[in-house]
Chain A
Amino acid sequence: MVKINASAITYTKGGEISKILSGTGFSIDTETLGPKQVVIQALATPINPSDLNQLAGTYASKPNFTSELDTPVPVAIGGNEGLYKVIEVGSDVTSYKNGDWVIPKMPSFGTWRTHALVTLDKPENPDPFIKVSSEDDKSIDLTQAATVSINPSTAYQLIDQFIKDWDPKGNDWIIQNGGNSQVGKFVVQIAKIRNIKTISVIRDGKPDQDQIVKELLDLGATKVITDKEAESEEYINKIVPGWVNEGKVILALNCVCGKSGSALVSHLTGNHLADYRSPHLVTYGGMSGQPLMYSSSESLFKNVTSKAYWLTANTKRNPQSKVDTVKKVLALYKSGDIKPVPFNGKEFNIKSTSDDYIKLFLKGIAESKTGKQVIVYN
């Protein structure tokens, strides 16, 4: 192999997504590969909501602009998550070999591309990848590895980061909105193996509601309720306290805000008996477009702590935390304790043109509203 024809989804400035994105063709010359360089080829690249916010320019983590694609002006490459296979390694590279499956460790890698030439041992990011598997190790499959970097890692850290002293007897509860989201589905699975009970709040009035409830219960949710129920006095004062009984709703996970977020606070259990752990509301998204709001008196009388969670910030602050979390999630996959949450795969032939590439991405982005989209390469 000498010259690889590659494609990337690029943009020069943030804005309306359908207008700013281009398919850019570029080439990678493996003849001139440096001793500490590797070439990787995409296996799967997800489209996440935060990628779209980044394109729109409303995301606090900004993309990197690069000239390495030989474009007339520097461009940013879309995407923050991707699974790749190592296909070429330089003469001094010992940590990777051809056939290794890797994911970028840091955000803003620009993952929406068929190939990348990456230099290892850069002082600012000496080890840019997390190795998740290899071609001779079949213990992790593509559906597990493709999305391991964001959704299950978020769920894992949400459960780990705020409440340190989970009740070992299983009397602690998590309540979460966005129960039908990817993160929500990982939360119920991970909580279950940790002996933590869960209440997942889903949107009311979906045509396939019964099916969603069944899926969540099968994944390990203790209870599934609708947002209408969650906001009702009856559920706040009677039904949920009846389920929780002597236990404590100690963690509320909020990716919606608005009314839905304030209802979660109403479900948190205040201090009682000899249990003085502060109940936490943790916000990691705002799908409703509304701000977070909650009652002052509930906040102070129940000693509620409202914290924000952002995986990207954690990773930037402490890159090793990302490596550790991904390794823990992979171990849960290998032991069979959790299973991947299905996504909509969109197949792309790696030899196709950059025009086909951008068309497929625009289609995937448009369909993101109906469920998680992942471009899968063959």
Chain B
Amino acid sequence: ITAQAVVYAQHGEPKDVLKTLKYEIDDDNLDSNSIIVKTLGSPVNPSDINQIQGVYPSKPEKTTELGSNEPVAVCGNEGLFEILKVGDNVSNFKVGDWCVPTSVNMGTWRTHMLCGGDEMTKIPNPEQSKANGKPSGLSVNQGATISVNPLTAYLMLTHYVKLTPGKDWFIQNGGNSAVGKYATQISNLLGINSISVIRDRPDLQDLIKNMTEECGATKVITEEQNASKEFGSEIKSWVKETGGEIKLALNCVGGKNSTGIARKLNNNGLMLTYGGMSMQPVILPTSLHIFKNITSSGFWVTQLLKNDVELKRKTLGQIIEWYENRQLKDAPSKETKFNPSDELSRYYIDGIVNSKGGKQLIVY
């Protein structure tokens, strides 16, 4: 098999350092514990770009395994693959199965991969879902983007704080982000009330309507309302009505916005920070922190799941079930189909540029 991969030997700006590496996979002499997969789709995530730039703490190893002259790393951490060939000792896969990488740093921006059978985790392909009587099978986009955003949203809502369905609330900024929309939908599925903070915009009412009807958002508020003291008492009355508490705040923005959502927390509440889009620090007034006993922690899905394969398996299973039952909608990506006669790196270099306008997925 002739394969292509997008690689870098040095860190730097993607357009300068990314190269296409062409290599051969010998499918006649497959190691008995290995598998060969072909890529169905792999997205461009912000963390992939940071990794290429060298500013991300989790880094793939650089090797000459693919036959390059100098050691290189293959880009990408997320992707959906289909099994082409299975080694004699591999029992968990058969040809045609779908799978996603078990851990990060696998290098998913490539057409094919030779890897160990344990380096991939099986997910159902559409025929299997249908055979199991499920209303729907996973789309390529759902499979290729399942490992980061939906898992982040689910784990932040369930892994730290016990939220009582029907009563308790969580608040988040970046409510219109991909993770924000997953968090809203998942909280709705779990019966937990949500407050999503979004930026004011010309089509604000349309967006609020959309988030309420499509994602099941309980309440959607603007950043101005999040910062307003008067509006705080309005929120208190919502919470009082359900007899619960705002126990969790999810922060991907930072700055004043993080202060605003932290202020809404009840005593002993938790704020999880999983991003910093405003480039401002997390800001917590001292008296709020101490007198309300607020805890503020970082959340990094890579770190959490690296040491807990079982947690990853269970969480993936839950997301898959919701997709199969059409209870969860995926955040759409802009899909671009790869033409095998082209250079693969060009697709991802363009994808990185276009990422500012929305998530980019290269499909094969």
Contact = CB atoms under 8 A, between A and B. Distances in A.
B228 interface: no
Given A299-B273, A300-B298, A294 B282 contact: yes
Interface string A309-333: 1100100000000000000000000
20 contacts: A276-B307, A278-B297, A285-B290, A286-B290, A292-B285, A292-B286, A292-B289, A293-B284, A296-B273, A296-B275, A296-B298, A298-B298, A301-B298, A303-B297, A305-B297, A306-B282, A306-B289, A306-B296, A308-B292, A310-B293
A60 B297 CA distance: 24
B91 interface: no
B302 to A, nearest CB: 9
A291 interface: yes
B23 interface: no
Nearest to A305: B297
A249 B286 CA distance: 23
Interface string B274-304: 1110000111111101111111111110010
Given A285-B286, A293-B281, A295-B276, A60 B291 contact: yes
Contacts of B291: 60, 310, 313
Contacts of B286: 257, 283, 285-286, 290-292
B57 interface: yes
B176 interface: no
A305 B295 CA distance: 7
Interface string A98-129: 00000000000000000000000000000000
A298 B55 CA distance: 12
A309 B274 CA distance: 24
Q: Chain B CB within 10 Å — which of A300, A301, A303 has the most?
A: A300
A297 interface: yes
B254 interface: yes
A308 B303 contact: no
B281 A294 contact: yes
Interface in A12-63: 58, 60
A304 B295 contact: no
A270 interface: yes
A296 B295 contact: no
A284 interface: yes
Contacts of B283: 291-293
Interface of A: 58, 60, 257, 262, 270-271, 276, 278, 283-286, 290-310, 313
A306 B57 contact: no
B103 interface: no
Q: Chain B CB within 10 Å — which of A60, A276, A298, A308 has the most?
A: A308
Pick the 10 closest A-B CB pairs, nearest first.
A296-B276, A286-B286, A300-B298, A299-B298, A60-B291, A306-B296, A293-B281, A308-B290, A308-B289, A300-B300
A308 B282 contact: no
B34 interface: no
B259 interface: yes
A293 B280 CA distance: 9
Contacts of B300: 300-301, 303
Nearest to A257: B286
Contacts of A292: 283-286, 289
B276 A291 contact: no
Nearest to A310: B290
Interface string B257-279: 00100000000000001111000
A256 to B, nearest CB: 9
Contacts of B292: 308
Nearest to B293: A308
A292 B282 CA distance: 8
B290 A296 contact: no
Contacts of B307: 276
B293 A296 contact: no
Contacts of B299: 300
B294 A308 contact: yes
B290 A299 contact: no
A284 B290 contact: yes
A295 B281 contact: yes
Contacts of B259: 291
Given A270-B57, A296-B273, A301-B57, A291 B285 contact: yes
B289 A304 contact: no
Contacts of A262: 281
Contacts of B275: 296, 300
Contacts of B282: 293-296, 299, 306
Q: Chain B CB within 10 Å — which of A293, A299, A310 has the most?
A: A299
A106 B250 CA distance: 36
A304 B298 contact: yes
B281 A283 contact: no
Contacts of B303: 271, 301, 303
A60 B259 CA distance: 19
A361 to B, nearest CB: 25
Nearest to B278: A296
A289 to B, nearest CB: 8
